[in-house]
Amino acid sequence: MRPEDLDLFGDVGGRTAGKSGSAYEDERLAREVDVLFVFGDIASNRLVAELAQFEEEIKKSVFITYLAHTPSIEAAKAFVDQIKAKHADARHNCWGFVAGRPEDSMKWGFSDDGEPSGTAGKPILAQLSGSGVGEITAVVTRYSGGIKLGTGGLVKAYGGGVQQALKL
């Protein structure tokens, strides 16, 4: 909600501001309106409602991206473990999570799971943190096709898979 969208003398949350006759009531409603303006973006944080999955093949390697709502670091790690168990035969299960609010970097984590350093977990986390979605975990499973993708190809594959899954 933007400040200009709110009619200060009209309906605010089912109540009428400016028409109560009580100066105290008008002041209280004005403070509530100010709080709406200050914290309006907090309420608009997006969350993933259900499990999302995106699969693509790049140079004979199959990349399967899973996204899930995970409200805590423990839930994120449990989701990662669940996907690792499901794809125990995969070459790599790389992951990244934003366990709290998108801007709270104290609750971020990632792993390259054997891929060259910085080619999987960081691109996954970069897509998650840049999306503005909070309480989310991405796990990208890779079944290797035997063709080397190079570091740039890996970054593009892992980050691109998460980007596509976020669009679902």
pLDDT tens digits, 70-112:
999 999 999 999 999 999 999 999 999 999 888 889 999 999 9
Least confident of 63-67, 97-101, 138-142: 97-101
| Portion of the chain with pLDDT greater than 70, in percent | 71
- For residue 62 the two structure tokens come to 């199959």
* Residues 114-123, mean pLDDT to the nearest whole number: 97
More confident of the two residues 156 and 12: 156
pLDDT at 167: 93
Dist. CA 119–CA 70, nearest whole Å? 23
Dist. CA 97–CA 66, nearest whole Å? 11
Least confident of 12-21, 77-86, 111-120: 12-21
Q: Which residue has the tokens 């109560």?
A: 20
Please provide the average confidence, as pLDDT, over all residues in the chain.
Answer: 79
33-37 contacts at long range (C-beta below 8 A, 24 or more positions apart): 33/6, 33/8, 36/1, 36/6, 37/1, 37/3
pLDDT at 23: 54
* Residues 43-47, mean pLDDT to the nearest whole number: 48
Least confident of 15-19, 31-35, 36-40, 85-89: 36-40
Cβ(135)–Cβ(108) under 8 Å? no
pLDDT at 78: 96
pLDDT at 46: 56
